[in-house]
A and B are shown apart, each in its own frame.
Chain A
Amino acid sequence: MLLVPCPNCGERDQSEFHYGGEAHRTRPTAPETLSDDEWADYVFMRTNTKGVFAERWCHTAGCRKWFNALRDTGSDAFLAVYRMGEEPPRLGGEEKEEAPADEAFA
């Protein structure tokens, strides 16, 4: 059971959260202009990264807010959390090794 660092509430048990899949997949503003393939790519296709992955979480049983996180899918370490609409922060080499969750969003 992971500990997920909510940017609003701090580190909480994974059972309080809802996983929202890959982040930064913005809904197309004019879907009718897209080909079937382009639309299918938005609706159905997700990357399956081993390593640092930008993903969405919702603190469903807490503040009910959605946020983004950078998680290493190999080690399950949360490297950073940031708000919806923000760009993913750049990770320094050292942070990548092991980021204490408390400092990840400081």
Chain B
Amino acid sequence: MSVQAYRLEDGGRIDRTAPLTFRFDGRAYAGYRGDTLASALLANGVRTLARSFKYHRPRGVLTAGSEEPVALVQVGGDPATTVPNVRATELELYDGLEAFPQNCWPSLGRDVGVVNDALARFLPAGFYYKTFMGPPLNWMRFEGAIRAAAGMGRSPTAPDPDRYEHVNRHCEVLVIGGGAAGLVAAREAARTGARVILAEETGALGGGLLAGAPDAVTIDGRPAWAWLAEIEAELRAMPEVTLLTRTTGTGWYDRNWVTLAEAVLDHLPPAARDPRLPRQRLWRVRAKAVVLATGAIERPLLFHANDRPGVMLAGAVRAYLHRWGVAPGRRAVVATNNTDAWRTAFDLAAAGVEIAAIVDSRARPDERLLARAQALGLPVRAGSAVVAAKGRSEVRGAVIARADGGGREDVACDLLVVSGGWAPNLALYAQSKGAIAWDDDLQAFRPQPNGAAARFAGRAAGAFDLAASLRAAAVAGAEAAGIAPEHVPEVADDGVAYALAPAPKPQGGRVFVDLQNDVTTKDIRLAAAEGYRSIEHAKRYTTLGMGTDQGKTSGLNGVATLADTLDKTIPEVGVTTFRPPYKPVSFGAVAGRQVGELFHPRRTTAMHEAHVEAGAVFELVGDWLRPRVYPQAGESFDDALQRECRAARSSCAVLDASTLGKIDVKGPDAREFLNRVYTNAWMKLAPGRCRYGLMCNEDGMVFDDGVTACLADDHFHMTTTTGGAAGVLAWLEEYLQTEWPELKVYLTSVTEQWAVASICGPESPKLAAELFDDIDADPQAFPFMSHTSGHIADVPVRVFRISFTGEVSYEINVPARYGLWLWRLIEARGAKYGLTPYGTEGMHLLRAEKGFIIAGQDTDGTVTPLDLGMRWAVKNSADFIGRRSLFRSDTARPDRRQLVGLATADPATVLTEGAQVIAEPAERSGRTPMIGHVTSSYFSPNLGRSIALALIAGGHGKTGATVHVARRGAAPVPAEITATDFLAGFGERP
């Protein structure tokens, strides 16, 4: 294990009494509790953490936060819990942590993909674009190589064992960001008693103050870190304040609906994770007001080889010094265009790091800074810029050039600290369509608040001096809660006001703008030259800002490069659209608890227990679990299906039909209403009778069907398909409320009120007679398509003499609580008649033998009642929904696809449902015209042959003709077009 050679003697918010061991790239290292993976690796002198995406160049640590573009690692080796693309700068160290570098093979040091770097001129901007948009062969030729070489780590390959949760909250004020500004804003808002939620991305409150010495500034007379502890305690004592750490604002949607991603357990060793807690939470917050205290992101400088490990942002270096007690180098060059990076130089010097040069592109840096540098003996190069980093794999030096064209100077260093200035972090705000505007003094975009919803605190407001920043915070917090600010903190700092000049322009070489996607200035210039002159187009062409970091550190440099190429200003070029999430959110957090059994509620019928006992195979129909078939011991699915279907026609069978949609339709206009919504006539249906009906949309296409019974002149019991029940009710309500409010009709869903057992078969009248107390079951006395009420063992029942199988049937409805009892009673009494439970598969087969349609299987939203051959169900006497569409020129075409039967020449061949029907016996090379498709197909045990239904162009006029059904990898199957009622056509019974 290596020593932590770059760890400072003391300081940092790490617990030096809690040493941790971890592994990276197969080696063991030591760190401390409080470290991130990045800080611990830097402490150990490890500077190369990754290989870049496209050129496989070595990459190190650029930042100290979630904006990190390149220090991405794979965490954990378990195929179920491994996480790719984790920013080492955010990953809190724990004992036993194992992380792996990405994008390298076979190892970080010996990566063969580096050949891409040598071949860079063959991988220009737009390479992917051109490959995708070119002839399909291009992509096919390159796909293997691209997929092998690209990619950003490995996805887990086994199911995620962790638990995730969603939390829904309302609050008056939501503060995003837990730096000093966020804390001040929250305190002001909370004074009113308002519900305040503050979300801080890292594990500690303090933000930028943690990237400075504990006493670098004083706030209200207290050293910075002491003040932080006090305000945190103050907020924690307020009952309406919720402080969330490790929680990132990821999405800002309409009306202040904000999502926060909280990493609850990720910072703990797996063995120490409380099993009662979720791994992550997704907070879904509806806030009256949002205060953005999201801070600022530092802009890198553009120069040759600016991607070398050892090039780090100035603010990040300061954070490693003070928050983690790490000096990430021995000899540093600090290159900047602004005042702030000088503080990093001073702090590095104080930590014992040799400062080779402070390079400021401004000709006249502030006197106070110059005086301090001189006092500390730090060499200063004003009016100069770094134009190149030196070093083959890591930084070994910098080339400094004078802006006035004077001489160049090579300076040795192992740390190249850069700062192109700070830009307010407005990604979340911009997601909410918030307006931003270019500020020339700031050389950055700043928010242009255009509504009361968004307020800005701290550096997010464009206030870069602490006093102004906290003043903005107090105002934002107070105003968000509807009051005036009370407590504006007093700040004492070094008194150097933030100032900067425009970032120096690069002087050629390989200058990286987007370090994650390997986009160079040359790529952006090429995009512009090829006509992609809008930033949105250039972005897509070059993939600038399209990595997992969404260009947080590269966006502004990309815009600046394009602006420079086009000879425009930055505001003229503008910025790309910001989209959620602000940073990667796990699929687990998005899904929450809605996975596995909880993904979708399952509904079960009153008889479910009996089906489970009988060993039923279930299927999901709508939300319902329905028995599909009841295989007996040793019986195959198909054998069981054939047995069930034989029983239904030879003895007696029972189906759980409880899931059919049931709607109680009541009111003086109920009959008129039914007449308008069904395609057939309802005005003369007598009480006690039932009728089958079809429903169409206004486009004339069938969408549901079912039998409706007339209970009384103003009272009907409607049934719908199982899956269509909710949709039909909503559709009926819509017409009642929006088109025909004058109709007095009341609709009530009664699906769950009734449990339904449907018995059918030649023996079913005997069984029914045994069951009924007071109903004459004789099919003559209780005729087909009628219904009645009565009792079974004194339990009230409604019985409908309707049939979906073509056999004599009794559909027995009981109050749902008697459902299981009824099912068991039927099984007990029916045993001697050979009663056989059958499932949905048998129901489908039995109805197909009769040629009855299933809406949604034999129809697909393009099929009219006439296409189905159901002219008999279309009335002429009155209008109904969709009627006019049946006479549109297109719906009246004779060559529409029409429902027919298909009988294969070989009765043993069962067609594949969905198979395409062609007119010719063999497929042509090229495209063979398709004339239809198979909608239903079975082997019928009662007919001893295969049967199928199909929609075929002009099919109604082609009875007896032979068509061919295409198969994959085999010759088409010849089949004859028949009528749809196979029992009538082939069977003995009419």
Q: Which residue numbers of A lie inside 8 Å of B, CB to CB?
A: 1-3, 13-14, 18, 20, 26-28, 30-32, 34, 36, 39-40, 42-44, 56, 58, 60, 64-66, 76, 84-85, 98
Q: Which residues B223-240 have CB closer than 8 A to chain A?
A: none
Answer yes or no: B889 CB below 8 A from chain A CBs.
yes
Residues of A within 8 A of B734 (CB): 20, 58, 66
Given contacts A31-B879, A32-B879, A36-B888, contact A76 B254 (CB under 8 A): yes
Q: Are A39 and B741 in contact, CB atoms less than 8 angstroms apart? A: no
Residues of A within 8 A of B737 (CB): 58, 65-66, 84
Smallest CB–CB gap between B864 and chain A, Å?
13
Answer yes or no: B257 CB below 8 A from chain A CBs.
yes
Q: Are B888 and A64 in contact, CB atoms less than 8 angstroms apart? A: no
Residues of A within 8 A of B888 (CB): 36, 39-40
Q: Are B889 and A36 in contact, CB atoms less than 8 angstroms apart? A: yes
Smallest CB–CB gap between A75 and chain B, Å?
9
Binary interface encoding of chain B residues 877-889 relative to chain A, with 1 for a CB under 8 A from any of its CBs, else 0: 0010001110111
Q: Are B253 and A43 in contact, CB atoms less than 8 angstroms apart? A: no
Binary interface encoding of chain B residues 625-638 relative to chain A, with 1 for a CB under 8 A from any of its CBs, else 0: 00000000000000
Answer yes or no: B895 CB below 8 A from chain A CBs.
no
Q: Are B884 and A39 in contact, CB atoms less than 8 angstroms apart? A: yes
Q: Are B885 and A39 in contact, CB atoms less than 8 angstroms apart? A: yes
Answer yes or no: B976 CB below 8 A from chain A CBs.
no
- The 9 residue pairs across chains A and B that have the minimum distance between CB atoms: A31-B884, A1-B257, A66-B737, A3-B255, A43-B698, A27-B739, A2-B254, A39-B884, A1-B253
Q: How far is the CA of A34 from the CA of B451 in the complex (A)?
A: 48
Q: Are A43 and B738 in contact, CB atoms less than 8 angstroms apart? A: no
Contact among B286, B739, B883, B884 with A13 in the assembled complex (CB-CB below 8 Å): B286
Q: How far is the CA of A104 from the CA of B523 in the complex (A)?
A: 52
Contact among B255, B699, B738, B879 with A66 in the assembled complex (CB-CB below 8 Å): B738
Q: How far is the CA of A31 from the CA of B881 in the complex (A)?
A: 10
Q: Are B738 and A84 in contact, CB atoms less than 8 angstroms apart? A: yes
Task: Please name the residue on chain B nearest to A68 by beta carbon.
Answer: B738
Tell me the number of A-to-B contacts counted with CB atoms below 8 Å. 57
Q: How far is the CA of A96 from the CA of B193 in the complex (A)?
A: 33
Residues of B within 8 A of A2 (CB): 254-255
Q: How far is the CA of A98 from the CA of B451 in the complex (A)?
A: 10
A-B contact pairs, 12 of them (CB 8 A): A1-B253, A1-B257, A20-B738, A28-B884, A31-B884, A32-B883, A36-B888, A39-B884, A40-B888, A42-B698, A43-B885, A84-B741
Q: Are A32 and B733 in contact, CB atoms less than 8 angstroms apart? A: no
Task: Please name the residue on chain A nearest to B251 by beta carbon.
Answer: A1
Contact among B253, B286, B738, B884 with A34 in the assembled complex (CB-CB below 8 Å): B884
Task: Please name the residue on chain A nearest to B880 by beta carbon.
Answer: A31
Answer yes or no: B730 CB below 8 A from chain A CBs.
yes
Residues of B within 8 A of A26 (CB): 739
Q: Are B739 and A18 in contact, CB atoms less than 8 angstroms apart? A: no
Residues of B within 8 A of A28 (CB): 884
Q: Are B884 and A32 in contact, CB atoms less than 8 angstroms apart? A: yes
B739, B884, B887, B888 — most chain A CB neighbours (10 Å): B884
Name the interface size band of chain B: 20 to 34
Q: Are B889 and A1 in contact, CB atoms less than 8 angstroms apart? A: no
Q: How far is the CA of A27 from the CA of B879 in the complex (A)?
A: 12
Given A18-B730, A58-B730, 15 new contacts (CB under 8 A): A2-B254, A3-B255, A13-B286, A20-B738, A31-B884, A32-B887, A39-B888, A40-B888, A43-B698, A43-B885, A44-B699, A65-B737, A66-B737, A84-B737, A84-B741
Q: How far is the CA of A3 from the CA of B288 in the complex (A)?
A: 12
Residues of B within 8 A of A3 (CB): 254-255, 286
Q: How far is the CA of A43 from the CA of B169 in the complex (A)?
A: 41
Residues of B within 8 A of A40 (CB): 888
Residues of B within 8 A of A44 (CB): 699
Q: Are A43 and B699 in contact, CB atoms less than 8 angstroms apart? A: yes
Q: Are A1 and B741 in contact, CB atoms less than 8 angstroms apart? A: no
Q: Which residues B876-916 have CB closer than 8 A to chain A?
A: 879, 883-885, 887-889
Q: How far is the CA of A26 from the CA of B739 in the complex (A)?
A: 7
Smallest CB–CB gap between B894 and chain A, Å?
17
Smallest CB–CB gap between B744 and chain A, Å?
16
Task: Please name the residue on chain A nearest to B884 by beta carbon.
Answer: A31
Q: How far is the CA of A46 from the CA of B255 in the complex (A)?
A: 27
Q: How far is the CA of A19 from the CA of B254 in the complex (A)?
A: 16
Q: How far is the CA of A28 from the CA of B882 in the complex (A)?
A: 12
Smallest CB–CB gap between A33 and chain B, Å?
9
Q: Are B698 and A56 in contact, CB atoms less than 8 angstroms apart? A: no
Q: Which residues B561-575 have CB closer than 8 A to chain A?
A: none
Task: Please name the residue on chain A nearest to B257 by beta carbon.
Answer: A1
Q: How far is the CA of A39 from the CA of B281 in the complex (A)?
A: 51
B698, B737, B738 — most chain A CB neighbours (10 Å): B738
Q: Which residues B700-744 have CB closer than 8 A to chain A?
A: 730, 733-734, 737-739, 741
Q: How far is the CA of A3 from the CA of B170 in the complex (A)?
A: 13
Q: Are A31 and B883 in contact, CB atoms less than 8 angstroms apart? A: yes
Residues of A within 8 A of B286 (CB): 3, 13
Q: Which residues B371-401 have CB closer than 8 A to chain A?
A: none
Residues of B within 8 A of A36 (CB): 888-889
Q: How far is the CA of A33 from the CA of B255 in the complex (A)?
A: 46
Q: How far is the CA of A84 from the CA of B699 in the complex (A)?
A: 23
Smallest CB–CB gap between B882 and chain A, Å?
9
Given contacts A31-B879, A36-B888, A39-B888, contact A1 B254 (CB under 8 A): yes
Smallest CB–CB gap between B250 and chain A, Å?
14
Residues of A within 8 A of B887 (CB): 32
Smallest CB–CB gap between B980 and chain A, Å?
29
Residues of A within 8 A of B730 (CB): 18, 58, 60
Q: How far is the CA of A28 from the CA of B770 in the complex (A)?
A: 53
Residues of A within 8 A of B699 (CB): 43-44
Contact among B253, B257, B741, B883 with A85 in the assembled complex (CB-CB below 8 Å): B741
Residues of A within 8 A of B884 (CB): 28, 31-32, 34, 39
Q: How far is the CA of A84 from the CA of B888 in the complex (A)?
A: 30
Binary interface encoding of chain B residues 850-880 relative to chain A, with 1 for a CB under 8 A from any of its CBs, else 0: 0000000000000000000000000000010
Q: How far is the CA of A44 from the CA of B737 in the complex (A)?
A: 21
Binary interface encoding of chain B residues 248-262 relative to chain A, with 1 for a CB under 8 A from any of its CBs, else 0: 000001110100000
Task: Please name the residue on chain A nearest to B737 by beta carbon.
Answer: A66
Q: Are B255 and A1 in contact, CB atoms less than 8 angstroms apart? A: yes
Smallest CB–CB gap between A101 and chain B, Å?
9
Q: How far is the CA of A52 from the CA of B462 in the complex (A)?
A: 35
Contact among B255, B257, B451, B733 with A64 in the assembled complex (CB-CB below 8 Å): B733
Q: How far is the CA of A18 from the CA of B727 in the complex (A)?
A: 12
Residues of B within 8 A of A1 (CB): 253-255, 257
Residues of B within 8 A of A98 (CB): 451
Q: Which residues B534-584 have CB closer than 8 A to chain A?
A: none
Q: How far is the CA of A94 from the CA of B923 in the complex (A)?
A: 68
Q: How far is the CA of A55 from the CA of B807 in the complex (A)?
A: 49
Task: Please name the residue on chain A nearest to B254 by beta carbon.
Answer: A2
Task: Please name the residue on chain B nearest to A60 by beta carbon.
Answer: B730
Residues of A within 8 A of B254 (CB): 1-3, 14, 76
Q: How far is the CA of A18 from the CA of B734 in the complex (A)?
A: 11
Residues of B within 8 A of A85 (CB): 741
Smallest CB–CB gap between B50 and chain A, Å?
37
Smallest CB–CB gap between A30 and chain B, Å?
8
Q: How far is the CA of A40 from the CA of B60 in the complex (A)?
A: 63
Smallest CB–CB gap between B701 and chain A, Å?
11
A1, A18, A76, A98 — most chain B CB neighbours (10 Å): A1
Residues of B within 8 A of A76 (CB): 254
Residues of B within 8 A of A30 (CB): 879
Task: Please name the residue on chain B nearest to A39 by beta carbon.
Answer: B884
Smallest CB–CB gap between B287 and chain A, Å?
12
Smallest CB–CB gap between B338 and chain A, Å?
37
Smallest CB–CB gap between A95 and chain B, Å?
16
Q: How far is the CA of A43 from the CA of B730 in the complex (A)?
A: 19
Smallest CB–CB gap between B18 and chain A, Å?
43
Smallest CB–CB gap between B696 and chain A, Å?
11
Binary interface encoding of chain B residues 25-60 relative to chain A, with 1 for a CB under 8 A from any of its CBs, else 0: 000000000000000000000000000000000000
Q: How far is the CA of A34 from the CA of B257 in the complex (A)?
A: 46
